[in-house]
Chains A and B, each alone.
Chain A
Amino acid sequence: MEVGLKMGFEETELRLGLPGGGDGGEVVRKRGFSETVDLKLKLSSKQGSSGIDPNEEKMTGLTKEKNLLLSATDPAKPPAKAQVVGWPPVRSFRKNILATATQKSSSDESGGEKAAFVKVSMDGAPYLRKVDLRMYTSYHQLSDALAKMFSSFTIGNCGSQGVKDFMNESKLMDLLNSSDYVPTYEDKDGDWMLVGDVPWEMFVESCKRLRIMKGTEAIGLAPKAVEKCKKRG
């Protein structure tokens, strides 16, 4: 089975990463978002999808049983379909292993503060997600969680090194010039800022929503971010 022939049915591989980084083999698994939702949305799938498969039109029946977990107020979201009872045949104690993991570790740390849910959008994605910022204690954790949510991407290199690179201005410029994605956020003032500039706690307090945008589009934010940083001291 040639990797190149595969059409990744399950997701769009939108990768955040420095140019040339990451596993070469997985790039071909990209496909447009239009395959993940009801076709009536008719969204274009121009970015990232190197494999626009001629077969995609035929996959009509396959989205029937999808369960969409989005906020009900979001108009871009397709109508949620009812989940099939008892399918897939997974025992209930196996559900949400990942979710339980995150919840348990965060409840130990945040000690019952009020949840801080913010919307997360990603350029090209037809629907949004929500995260509770209080479930994390660092940019690194948030990055991991977003990675899981929006298939795999990395901010710079994997792990804390990537976040540090992110905070490093010269590397930041490299990153922003690439076609990869960077996370940005809207703060209380309504300004769009680059994630990672301010201490984590300050970020959680001021972040109203998150947007994962293309690096090239985020360039305009950098000077502003640096300015704000100087202002805040």
Chain B
Amino acid sequence: MESSELKRSKDSVNSCESARRSSFPDEVLERVLSLLKSHRDRSSVSLVCKDWYNAERWSRTHVFIGNCYSVSPEIVARRFPRIRSVTLKGKPRFSDFNLVPENWGADIHAWLVVFAAKYPFLEELRLKRMAISDESLEFLAVSFPNFKALSLLSCDGFSTNGLAAIATHCKNLTELDIQENGIDDIGGSWLSCFPESFTTLEVLNFANLTSDINFDMLEKLVGRCKSMRVLKLNRSVSLEQLQRLLVNAPQLAELGTGLFSQELTIREYEELESALSNCKNMHTLSGLWDATGMYLPALYLACTHLTFLNLSYAALQSVELAKLLAHCPQLKRLWVLDSVEDKGLEAVGLNCPLLEELRVFPADPFDNEIVHGVTEAGFVAVSFGCPRLHYVLYFCRQMTNAAVATIVQNCPDFTHFRLCIMNPGQPDYLTNEPMDEAFGAVVKTCTKLQRLSVSGLLTDLTFEYIGRYAKNLETLSVAFAGRSDWGMQCVLGGCPKLRKLEIRDCPFGNAALLSGLEKYESMRSLWMSACNVTMNGCRLLAREMPRLNVEARGGMPHHLSLLSEMLGTRQTENY
């Protein structure tokens, strides 16, 4: 408290003018501002006046950095002295699809070193698309005695040895969430590193690890962590083992099962069913690897209050899905594989009137021979039955302009519309026309649209529509689309709220790139690969906008990555 009082006396001398206008004592202001959670609100607050800027920076406990190269850790630590929780995002999103070279950067270590010095009481670290080594994980584990929550999503560079260090040293750990990472899975012994006295774990997610873990240790761990509310197992945990875990943890709110396929006796089946239905708080269910019609009924009783069902690891058929959904009336979010086909999606429309989010992933994305999957009919069926739908990710092999127009007419509240017609540059299969009118309908009708991914055969008209109508659009993803620079210019000239633009394999060149100079200052990132941009264009851009971090790599395919607001210097790796 001393330091804040010092600050107050110092500031009040310097800001007499604002003191006259401000009717709040600083304590009250700070107190009020400490209730603000949204980082955008806080950014707005900090711009009001100097008093508010200071009150805000002293009351902020969580910092969100959407682009790790936009600011240096030293600057963050200088501005915000009381941070307990950090969220950092690193690589461009296209790194998820192998479009970003290895060793691109986004290494967490430099941040950890600064945090260890400035935020010794750091409690939470959430990383997305960052590089983190085992050494960094060890350093983290021993440097922060109060450390509570580690969440790694789409990160790489570490192995299960790093997890062992966390389990060993973090005595107050409440959350260990290891999702979808490029992790070197050496073995499952890391789980056995939690000491026997350790009881604080509330969130444990190791669903995407492949190695077997010691089930005895897991059972004991779950048994003594009475506050556990999220448990997501990996494939190595069997149905029988799941039952044993659930019996000791009926309080679970989110469950990710292991393998959902095993020879069970009638008695074992009934025990499983009973254990599942005893989880009265369960609102999220995932895992379900290899689930088939045979054992899904064990879930029926447990699904009554389910709001999020993730079936994207279970290649269900339409009938199986329909039967399951009949028991999920409260469902708000559903992820499925396209093995359920249009018939399965019809069942979604019939059974889930409260649905807000639907994601349909392709079961066989790279097998283009003879495939099933979903068509426009499935999407249309869902739109008729689920008027509250606002988030969709839909992989399909055919679509029509008319269908999309119908869909957005039924569901005008889309905030996230991500449509992936899997064959690049494919037109409306009925009329053979481009899909321009489809996305035109989306941006005209869905005024709240924040995120859009386009696909199919698209001319510049699509981008004219986007630029003109998508007033709230923040993220745009484009591939194999457009005809000329004009398309990209439309987007950069319109879309006042655009923050992230990622483009691959489009005929946009230097003129388009350079038309967005002013725009880039307000954006977080721009990615272009396999377009018509040249090195000279990139150089010109870098010269015109010295505050931007411009990276370009030549050769085929060349790509350009633009990161805004470079206030520090980026370490140039071997790149």
User: How extensive is the interface on chain B, given as a class?
Assistant: 35 or more
CB-nearest residue of chain A to B235: A104
In angstroms, Cα B94 to Cα A149, docked, is 31
Q: B113 contacts the other chain (Cβ, under 8 Å)?
A: no
In angstroms, Cα B223 to Cα A130, docked, is 47
- Interface contact B370-A150, CB-CB below 8 Å: yes
| A1-16 interface code vs B (CB 8 A; 1 in, 0 out) | 1010111011110000
Given the interface contacts A1-B403, A65-B424, A88-B420, does A9 sit within 8 Å of B366 by beta carbon?
no
In angstroms, Cα B433 to Cα A58, docked, is 11
- The one of A7, A86, A94, A150 in contact with B98, judged by C-beta atoms closer than 8 angstroms, is A86
In angstroms, Cα B372 to Cα A11, docked, is 7
Q: A82 contacts the other chain (Cβ, under 8 Å)?
A: no
Q: A188 contacts the other chain (Cβ, under 8 Å)?
A: no
| B357-370 interface code vs A (CB 8 A; 1 in, 0 out) | 00001111111111
In angstroms, Cα B397 to Cα A65, docked, is 13
Q: B426 contacts the other chain (Cβ, under 8 Å)?
A: yes
The winner among A1, A127, A150 for most chain B CB atoms within 10 A is A1
Stretch at the interface among A95-103, A162-170, A179-187, A212-220: A95-103
Q: B402 contacts the other chain (Cβ, under 8 Å)?
A: yes
Q: A73 contacts the other chain (Cβ, under 8 Å)?
A: no
Interfacial residues of chain A within 68-125, with CB under 8 A of chain B in the complex: 68-69, 83-95, 97-98, 101, 104-105
In angstroms, Cα B377 to Cα A149, docked, is 23
In angstroms, Cα B312 to Cα A64, docked, is 28
In angstroms, Cα B370 to Cα A67, docked, is 11
A contact residues, total (Cβ < 8 Å): 45
Q: How far is the CB of A106 from chain B (nearest CB, A)?
A: 12
- Interface contact A12-B426, CB-CB below 8 Å: no
Q: B376 contacts the other chain (Cβ, under 8 Å)?
A: yes
Q: How far is the CB of B96 from chain A (nearest CB, A)?
A: 5
Q: B337 contacts the other chain (Cβ, under 8 Å)?
A: yes
Given the interface contacts A1-B376, A1-B403, A93-B208, does A86 sit within 8 Å of B97 by beta carbon?
yes
The winner among B208, B289, B366, B432 for most chain A CB atoms within 10 A is B366
Chain A residues whose CB sits within 8 angstroms of the CB of B380 once the complex forms: 1
- The one of B208, B363, B370, B422 in contact with A97, judged by C-beta atoms closer than 8 angstroms, is B363
Chain A residues whose CB sits within 8 angstroms of the CB of B290 once the complex forms: 101, 104-105
- Interface contact B377-A6, CB-CB below 8 Å: yes
Given the interface contacts A3-B377, A98-B315, does A87 sit within 8 Å of B424 by beta carbon?
yes
In angstroms, Cα B369 to Cα A85, docked, is 18
- Interface contact B313-A65, CB-CB below 8 Å: no
The winner among A5, A7, A9, A83 for most chain B CB atoms within 10 A is A9
Given the interface contacts A1-B403, A88-B420, does A10 sit within 8 Å of B361 by beta carbon?
no
In angstroms, Cα B479 to Cα A65, docked, is 14
In angstroms, Cα B369 to Cα A44, docked, is 17
CB-nearest residue of chain B to A152: B372
- Interface contact A7-B370, CB-CB below 8 Å: no
CB-nearest residue of chain A to B406: A1
Given the interface contacts A86-B98, A92-B98, does A1 sit within 8 Å of B312 by beta carbon?
no
Q: B344 contacts the other chain (Cβ, under 8 Å)?
A: no
Q: A50 contacts the other chain (Cβ, under 8 Å)?
A: no
- The one of B370, B420, B424, B430 in contact with A151, judged by C-beta atoms closer than 8 angstroms, is B370
Q: How far is the CB of B338 from chain A (nearest CB, A)?
A: 10
- The one of A62, A83, A105 in contact with B423, judged by C-beta atoms closer than 8 angstroms, is A62
- Interface contact A12-B423, CB-CB below 8 Å: no
Between A and B, how many residue pairs show CB distances below 8 Å? 114
Chain A residues whose CB sits within 8 angstroms of the CB of B64 once the complex forms: none
Given the interface contacts A9-B397, A67-B367, A101-B290, does A55 sit within 8 Å of B180 by beta carbon?
no
- Interface contact B364-A66, CB-CB below 8 Å: no
Given the interface contacts A88-B362, A90-B362, does A6 sit within 8 Å of B371 by beta carbon?
no
In angstroms, Cα B261 to Cα A62, docked, is 38
Q: B158 contacts the other chain (Cβ, under 8 Å)?
A: no
CB-nearest residue of chain A to B400: A1
Q: How far is the CB of A41 from chain B (nearest CB, A)?
A: 14
Q: B349 contacts the other chain (Cβ, under 8 Å)?
A: no
In angstroms, Cα B422 to Cα A11, docked, is 14
Q: How far is the CB of B523 from chain A (nearest CB, A)?
A: 21
Q: A61 contacts the other chain (Cβ, under 8 Å)?
A: yes
Q: B99 contacts the other chain (Cβ, under 8 Å)?
A: yes
Given the interface contacts A7-B429, A10-B398, A97-B337, does A36 sit within 8 Å of B370 by beta carbon?
yes
- Interface contact B424-A84, CB-CB below 8 Å: yes
Q: B395 contacts the other chain (Cβ, under 8 Å)?
A: yes
Chain A residues whose CB sits within 8 angstroms of the CB of B377 once the complex forms: 1, 3, 6
The winner among B313, B363, B370, B426 for most chain A CB atoms within 10 A is B370
Q: How far is the CB of A37 from chain B (nearest CB, A)?
A: 9
Chain B residues whose CB sits within 8 angstroms of the CB of A83 once the complex forms: 366
| B403-442 interface code vs A (CB 8 A; 1 in, 0 out) | 1001000000000000010111110011010000000000
- Interface contact B368-A151, CB-CB below 8 Å: no
Chain B residues whose CB sits within 8 angstroms of the CB of A89 once the complex forms: 96-97, 420, 479
Q: B375 contacts the other chain (Cβ, under 8 Å)?
A: yes
Q: How far is the CB of B410 from chain A (nearest CB, A)?
A: 13
Chain B residues whose CB sits within 8 angstroms of the CB of A6 once the complex forms: 375, 377
Chain A residues whose CB sits within 8 angstroms of the CB of B368 once the complex forms: 65-68
Q: How far is the CB of A83 from chain B (nearest CB, A)?
A: 6
In angstroms, Cα B573 to Cα A177, docked, is 70
- Interface contact B97-A97, CB-CB below 8 Å: no
In angstroms, Cα B429 to Cα A5, docked, is 11
CB-nearest residue of chain A to B342: A3
Given the interface contacts A5-B430, A86-B97, does A94 sit within 8 Å of B365 by beta carbon?
yes
In angstroms, Cα B406 to Cα A127, docked, is 38
CB-nearest residue of chain B to A29: B375
Q: How far is the CB of B562 from chain A (nearest CB, A)?
A: 19
Q: B373 contacts the other chain (Cβ, under 8 Å)?
A: yes
- The one of B180, B369, B504 in contact with A36, judged by C-beta atoms closer than 8 angstroms, is B369
In angstroms, Cα B397 to Cα A62, docked, is 11
| B366-401 interface code vs A (CB 8 A; 1 in, 0 out) | 111111110111001000000000000001011010
CB-nearest residue of chain B to A89: B97
Chain A residues whose CB sits within 8 angstroms of the CB of B289 once the complex forms: 101
- Interface contact A9-B365, CB-CB below 8 Å: no
- Interface contact B98-A95, CB-CB below 8 Å: no
6 extra interchain contacts, Cβ-Cβ under 8 A, other than A1-B377, A7-B430, A104-B235? A10-B373, A10-B375, A11-B372, A59-B429, A94-B312, A151-B371
19 A-B residue pairs with Cβ-Cβ distance under 8 Å, sorted by A, are: A5-B430, A6-B377, A7-B430, A10-B371, A10-B375, A64-B424, A65-B423, A68-B368, A69-B367, A85-B99, A86-B97, A88-B362, A88-B395, A91-B96, A91-B97, A97-B363, A101-B290, A101-B315, A151-B372
